[in-house]
Structure 1
Amino acid sequence: MSSETLSRAILPEGWSVPRGYANGMVAEGRVLVTGGLVGWNENGVFARGFLPQLRQTLVNIKAVVEAGGGRVEDIVRLTWYVTDIAAYRASLKEMGPVYREVLGRHFPTMAVVQVVSLVEPEAMIEIEATAVLAG
């Protein structure tokens, strides 16, 4: 790993390349962990609908990582909690452009989990991020 790139995706020999995520990541540096972030703006106002909430949640993750001195490329893991897995699946095609608009073509390890509800009643999605920063 160069000093520019502190993380890299891991792909076991013979495995198919995953689309939109990595199976594993190797990284070195300081660890930044976010809490569960949701799709509201800095004033606590929620975006309306699954895709707008996803976009705002990713914007919030990017803001926290950057405030901690990191970059989007430093993110090594995203754990997504969604209240409606059917809505998630139905939005897969539209999610790609929304994701890339905010986080670019950086695809860390990811897990998606359906939950019954989230602490904020209006929240449809909550995402935790882990980033590994230089030094």
Structure 2
Amino acid sequence: MATMTIHPEGWKPAKGYANGMVAEGRVLFVGGQIGWTAEQVFEAHDFIGQMRQALGNIAEVVRAAGGEVTDIVRLTWYVTDKTEYLAHQKDIGAAYRDVMGYHFPAMTMVVVSALVEDAAKLEIEATAVLERFPSD
């Protein structure tokens, strides 16, 4: 799927995200994914481990729909601890690239007081634009 990153002229470069994305195709909305496995078990209890798992879960859903992570045009992150997030920027970048490569869609980060699953440190939802249905 061809996407185009939008960056208004004269704006400072966006680092690790895009200000906007343009895409054409079938839209896949991925519900919020947390850092548990397909069996709904938290194997990681740290922020980085849960982030890696949540992104991996998103990648699995996108692939199940016939897409790839490069088809993701938007991520919305809900984190429960801003200080923990900011303290691990280098590790977060490395873990992100392990799952998503150097694909940086439009992103929003929101700090929340809690998530429904008490053990969850973050939840991430995604929007992807796919070229076709999985059976095509």
TM range (shorter): over 0.9
Provide the TM-score with structure 2 as the length reference. 0.94
Following superposition, the deviation at residue 14 of structure 1 comes to 1.0
Look up the match of 2:17.
21
Q: What secondary structure is seen at the aligned counterpart in 1 of 2:15?
A: coil
- Alignment partners' CA distance in 1, 2:116 and 2:126: 18
Look up the match of 1:40.
36
1:6 is aligned to 2:6: no
Letter of the 1:19 partner, please give it: K
1:93 is aligned to 2:90: yes
**Runs of 4+ off more than 4 Å:** none
Following superposition, the deviation at residue 6 of structure 1 comes to 2.0
Look up the match of 2:48.
51
List gaps (5 residues or longer) in structure 1.
none
Following superposition, the deviation at residue 93 of structure 1 comes to 1.2
- Alignment partners' CA distance in 2, 1:97 and 1:40: 20
List gaps (5 residues or longer) in structure 2.
none
Contact 1:6 1:133 (C-alpha < 8 Å) held by counterparts: no
Q: What is the root-mean-square deviation of aligned Cα atoms in Å?
A: 0.8
Q: What secondary structure is seen at the aligned counterpart in 2 of 1:121?
A: coil
Aligned ranges 1:104-123 → 2 under 5 Å: 104-123=101-120
Deviations 1:60-115 (A, max 9, x none): 00000000111110000000000001111111111111000001000000000000
The count of residues paired between Structure 1 and Structure 2 equals: 131
**Which of 61, 66, 77 is the equivalent residue of 2:63?**
66
Provide the TM-score with structure 1 as the length reference. 0.94
Look up the match of 2:75.
78
- Alignment partners' CA distance in 1, 2:77 and 2:88: 14
Contact 1:6 1:132 (C-alpha < 8 Å) held by counterparts: no
